[in-house]
Structure 1
Amino acid sequence: MNDRVSPAVLRLADLGFKAPAALLARYGLTLVRVPDGESIPGSYWGEAEAGIIGTCVYARADTPVHSLLHEACHLLVLPPERRASVHTDATDSIEEEDAACCLQILLADALPGVGGERLMADMDAWGYTFRLGSARAWFLDDAAEARAFLAARGLP
């Protein structure tokens, strides 16, 4: 994955930090704004991609919204007792990865000016890969296990 694939993806600069911070706070996470030009702590992918350490999600104004949501969702699908030990890489579980992808699409509807459809287009532009060819096809036709995983944990 690489945000250099498409500069047209929505970035935090496009919607600001207030709504994403409020969304994350509803789930017990903290959005930490990193000053422009500084390295993002806990970023797995580097560049402008969001980072995670414990219950904090780090991002800059140039961070893609899909990246912020994806990393936050990695923390949300983990049991709370595992979150505190997370630094940069939340999981190597395919089940948790799929659940994070599904949850980020669902949570995108809570952000004004984003929504699931736009987020899925940005996921495709960035280079997420799904066996059905697109985030939308996967979400609509192949995400039943991810949805069950989320439902079992009381997530939307």
Structure 2
Amino acid sequence: MDFGVMEALLARFDLALHRVPDGVPIPGSFWGDPEAGVIAHNVYVRSDTPVHSMLHEACHLIVLTPEKRALVHTDATDSDIEEDATCYLQVVLADELPGVGRARLMADMDAWGYSFRMGSTEAWMAQDADDARSWLAERGLPH
């Protein structure tokens, strides 16, 4: 992925994307390298960080109020609906990344091991994500 494109996408939500040198531990990574990390309004990635990981961690920050965002270090969620909204939003935003799109992102999510009641990310988005979509809409976030 083009770092500048990802950086511009996150900047729309007042987030800063930081490139971590290869081989250096990623600050704020909940799952460990090479997964993205979050600290306050900052998202950290390396060249080997999966795009779905960058989007997921960024979306955790996007769904939070600025006050809650400021307190984040590594673990960004405290509710099921925030997690669901994060998963939904990352798929929506994937369409804004050239060469990614929602189909690829949902396949990457499934391959990584995201699990949903409907058996796949695509089925969850189509059949069981109304609560996440509504939650995002109520907050004026893309849905």
Mark yes or no: TM-score above 0.5.
yes
Between the aligned residues of both structures, percent identity stands at 67
- 2:128 is the counterpart of 1:139: no
Q: What is the match of residue 92 of structure 2? A: 106
Q: Report the Cα distance in structure 2 between the residues aligned to 1:44 and 1:120, rounded to whole angstroms.
A: 21
1:112 is matched by which residue type in structure 2? Answer: P
Greater relative CO (CA pairs within 8 A, separation 6+): 1
* Structure 2 gap segments, 5+ residues each: none
Runs (4 or more) in structure 1 with deviation over 4 Å come to none
2:15 is matched by which residue type in structure 1? Answer: L
Root-mean-square deviation (CA, aligned residues, Å) is: 0.6
1:133 is matched by which residue type in structure 2? Answer: G
2:96 is matched by which residue type in structure 1? Answer: A
- TM-score normalised according to structure 2 size: 0.98
Q: Report the Cα distance in structure 1 between the residues aligned to 2:70 and 2:57, rounded to whole angstroms.
A: 14
| Superposed displacement of residue 92, structure 1 | 2.6
- 2:27 is the counterpart of 1:32: no
Q: What is the match of residue 88 of structure 1? A: 74
- TM-score normalised according to structure 1 size: 0.90
- Number of paired residues? 142
Contact 1:124 1:134 in 2 (8 A): yes
String of CA shifts for 1:51-76, please: whole Å, max 9, x gaps. Answer: 00000000000000000000000001
Alignment counterpart, residue 105 of structure 2, candidates 95, 104, 119: 119
